[in-house]
Amino acid sequence: MSDALRPLIVGAGPAGIRAAQVLVDAGLRPVVVDEAASGGGQIYRQRLVPDERTPRDLYGSEAGKATALHEAFARIRERIDYFPQTLVWNVRGKTADVADGGRTRRLDFSHLILATGATDRVLPFRGWTTPGVFTLGGAQIALKSQGCAIGEQVVFLGSGPLLYLVAWQYVKAGAQVAAVLDTAPFSAKLHLLRGLLSQLGVVMRGFRYAAQLMARGVSVHFGVEPDRIEGETQVEGIVWHERGKEHRLACNAVGYGFALRSETQLADLAGCRFIFDGRDRAWRPERDMAGRTSVPGVYIAGDGAGIAGADAAELAGERAGLALLEDTGRSVDRARIAVLERKLAAVQRFRDVLEAAFPFPGKWASSATDDVLLCRCEEITIGQVRAAVRDQGVHELNRLKALTRVGMGRCQGRMCAGAAAEILAATHGQPLEDVGRLRAQPPIKPLPLEIMVDGEAA
């Protein structure tokens, strides 16, 4: 490979692997950096230590896709420069700062494909920081990577397809799931019927998850409004309201989340222009169908570009890789590009169906009480945010950060920024997009203090 062409791919999930495969097939040798110990991403996360579980045990009906992706990555491992368990914590021009173990160094690149994925969207309520409360993604990691459940009596709470998937995975693994609490009304699920023609397999799989949960005796509730987690040093129970009545259920662990939010910090540091996505209620990097951002030579694919799921991530990763080849003057398969773009457009239409079936809990911002901890890193409550809006005239998210320290902690706003924006907009009575977004700051995730930059490019 020419020294002038050194593509860097951040993320070895479905999007990153398929992008790397395209570049390798074209004779390039990309650099792939990933925080995980092995490829697959969150959806196809591999075990930390081999055990007796089969791919079917780990991934259910998606075992074939997971195995195919893992095998594809294994086939190209010798033809890429792969850095697992490595964090890209900053991007400056054509240089990425990466941390690997106890050191940090710089990687120069000619082109950048960001396949950074997504994390759970967290909406705080009373007791959400109690030991034994996990995000849905965290509960899934424990099961897939370590083969353990987050508790002996688990309740899953929230909205979105991941809610039912994780609950089903726990039941299939033999864990005791006490209940599934869906904040969306049952009537919203009727929107899934609109997706039967375009995504029959996906819709039927979701119905099967719900049916199997109920067949195993798992209580499923709809239209739930979470009130509080009970317990001081450990989860003891959960209280919610449903049709005007208060309900309580004993449990010792809760997994919860309200759909997903894209990881966009590196795109921000790379200088990409952002636009507001009303469907995802979040700002995302502007990109075209091929994954090109506003910055020449920077591409984005997968859930980091907007929530669309694992199948779409594979398609988008392949399309971004082809876009890079196009932009460097290499020949590409135009027919394949047409197929990819047609499939990606269909996925986006189906996303509208999913959003209607699993709507955002619109009452959350107005019903959350002042004593609820919003930013756990800096211990800022919802009441403090509301006071800043009322008493200091705050109406922009970065100004809120400066005055209250929301988003200044270890997570750099990755967990609290979305909820803070919702509270700010609701309190001020303005559209969510008008409060803006937190500007990314390096390092995007915590680094050990002993790390020293050696100043040399790798």
Q: Which structural domains are found in the chain, ordered by start?
A: 7-119+261-330 (3.50.50.60), 122-258 (3.50.50.60), 364-435 (1.10.10.1100)
pLDDT digits (tens, 9 = 90+) for 26-58: 999 999 999 999 999 988 988 888 888 888 888
- Taking 80 as the threshold, does the pLDDT of residue 361 lie above it? yes
Longest dimension (CA), the chain: 67
Q: How high is the pLDDT of residue 450?
A: 74
- DSSP string across 258-326: ESEEE--HHHHHTT--EEEETTTTEEEE-B-TT-BBSSTTEEE-GGGGS---HHHHHHHHHHHHHHHHH
Helix (H) / strand (E) containing 34: none
Mean pLDDT of 365-388: 96
Total Cβ atoms within 10 A of residue 374: 27
pLDDT at 216 over 80: yes
State yes or no: pLDDT of 130 exceeds 50: yes
Q: Report which of 263, 280, 69, 317 is spatially closest to residue 160, judged by C-alpha positions.
A: 280
* 184 contacts 382 by C-beta, under 8 angstroms: no
Average pLDDT over residues 9-22: 98
What is the token pair recorded at 181? Answer: 């609490």
The average pLDDT across 116-139 equals 96
Under 8 Å between Cβ of 227 and 125:
yes
In this predicted structure, the answer to whether residue 178 has a pLDDT above a threshold of 70 is: yes
Rounded Cα distance, 265 and 120, in Å: 15
Contact 16, 35 (CB under 8 A): no
pTM: 0.94
CB environment 45-56: b (16+ within 10 A), e (fewer): bbeeeeeeeebe
Using only C-alpha atoms, what is the Rg of the chain? 22
The answer, yes or no, to whether residue 339 has pLDDT greater than 70, is: yes
**Among 309-323, 419-433, 439-453, which is the least confidently predicted range?**
439-453
Query: Has residue 458 got a pLDDT over 70?
Result: no
For the residues of 165-218, what is the DSSP string, one character each?
A: HHHHHHHHTT--EEEEEESS-GGGGGGGGGGTTTSHHHHHHHHHHHHHHHHTT-
As a whole number, mean pLDDT of residues 75-90 equals 97
CA 82 → CA 70, 95, 226, distances in Å? 14, 17, 43
Q: Which amino acid is at 46?
A: Q
Q: Label residue 87 by pLDDT band (50, 70, 90).
A: very high
Answer whether residue 449 shows pLDDT above 80. no
The Cα 144–Cα 124 span in angstroms is 26
What confidence tier does 452 reach under pLDDT thresholds 50, 70, 90?
A: low
pLDDT at 2: 45
Contact (Cβ atoms closer than 8 angstroms) between residue 413 and residue 401: yes
The model's pLDDT over 153-164, given as tens digits with 9 standing for 90+, comes to 999 999 999 999
Residue 351 pLDDT class (50, 70, 90 cuts): very high
- Round to whole Å and give the CA distance between 86 and 313: 21
Q: How far is CA 107 from CA 112, 153, 288, in A?
A: 11, 46, 26
* Torsion angle in degrees (nearest 10) through CA of 180, 358, 189, 144: -50
In the predicted structure, residue 457 carries a pLDDT above the cut 80 = no
- Pairing of β 7-10 and β 31-33: parallel
In the chain, % of residues over pLDDT 90: 87
Contact 15, 314 (CB under 8 A): yes
User: CB-based contacts of 50: which residues, under 8 Å, 6+ apart?
Assistant: none
- The Cα 367–Cα 423 span in angstroms is 10
Per-residue pLDDT, 47? 85
